[in-house]
């Protein structure tokens, strides 16, 4: 130890969580690029806010609640996709109820756009999966 004092356990925990979240996000992005064959479960852990959008942060749960209010949605999660200028842009990942398989990604994107403030729009779109 350089400073002679023990490291703060909260700082260590926070750094571990940041690393885990980066790994999970990278894994998810890889899956998105490979036709979204698998998505890590939200129980694994993830940051609750997206970084960026100017000086604002975006609360993922706000967007998820809007997506989940659509009658066709069984499950939804919002992830942050890296963006060179804004930090991250939100993307919705959705599982539809069986009887609503004809709902399109564009329709879901418009549904959210009509119900959230501009900073919470799904700028990276929506991906519909068979399961999370």
DSSP letter string over the chain?
A: --SSSPPPHHHHHHHHHHHHHHHHHHHHHHHHHTTT-----GGG---SEE-BSTT--EEHHHHHHHHHTSTTEEEEEEEEEEETTTEEEEEEEEEE-GGGTT--HHHHHHHHHTTS-GGGS-TT-EEEES--
Using one digit for the tens of pLDDT, what is the confidence trace for 7-62?
676 676 777 777 776 777 776 666 665 544 444 433 334 555 555 544 357 788 88
Query: Domain 9-129's class?
Result: alpha beta
State the pLDDT at residue 87. 79
Task: Kindly list the domain boundaries of the chain, sorted by start residue.
Answer: 9-129
Residue with more model confidence, 130 or 9: 130
Whether 66 has a pLDDT exceeding 90, the answer reads yes
State the pLDDT at residue 7. 67
How many CB atoms are closer than 10 A to CB 99? 8
Using one digit for the tens of pLDDT, what is the confidence trace for 68-127?
999 999 999 998 888 788 778 889 999 999 999 899 999 999 999 999 998 889 988 999
Q: What is the pTM of this model?
A: 0.60
Query: Measuring CA to CA, how many Å separate 114 from each of 77, 100, 103, 119?
Result: 18, 20, 16, 12
């Amino acid at each position: 130890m350089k400073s002679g004092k023990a490291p703060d356990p909260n700082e260590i925990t926070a750094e571990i969580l940041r690393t885990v979240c980066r790994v999970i996000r990278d894994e998810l992005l890889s899956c998105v690029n490979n036709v979204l064959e698998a998505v890590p479960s939200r129980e694994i852990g993830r940051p609750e806010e997206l970084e960026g959008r100017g000086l604002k942060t975006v609360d993922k749960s706000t967007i998820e609640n809007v997506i989940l209010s659509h009658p066709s949605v069984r499950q939804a999660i919002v992830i942050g996709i890296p963006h060179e200028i804004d930090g991250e842009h939100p993307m919705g990942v959705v599982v539809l109820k069986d009887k609503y398989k004809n709902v399109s990604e564009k329709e879901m994107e418009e549904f959210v756009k009509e119900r959230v403030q501009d900073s919470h729009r799904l700028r990276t779109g929506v991906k519909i999966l068979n399961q999370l």
